[in-house]
Amino acid sequence: MVRKMIIDKYDNVEITYIDISDPEVKDYPKVQPHIKHPGTPLPIVAFNGEPKWAGSISFHHIIQELQRLGVV
């Protein structure tokens, strides 16, 4: 739901869902330590490959980070 809200509002933002059991996760080396830690809640939200949050995250917080990065 948050993904759709962001894409609908900002057409210059790309959001990728990565299944942590998919081999593609190896393309995100900075996320892997968080995945391997048994207490880390999902989802893990990363910007440009940098993990920012683990667990539930609000639309508002994601937009704030995109603004801070100058994306939106």
1 has a pLDDT exceeding 80: no
pLDDT score of 46: 87
CA 63, CA 56: separation in Å to the nearest integer? Answer: 14
- Helix residue ranges, H only, 2-71: 2-9, 32-36, 59-68
CA 49, CA 28: separation in Å to the nearest integer? Answer: 6
pTM check: above 0.75: no
Report DSSP state, residue 22: S
Q: What is the band of 5 on the pLDDT scale with cuts at 50, 70, 90?
A: confident
- Per-residue pLDDT of 19-63, as tens digits, reads 888 898 899 899 889 888 888 998 888 888 888 889 988 888 888
pLDDT score of 41: 92
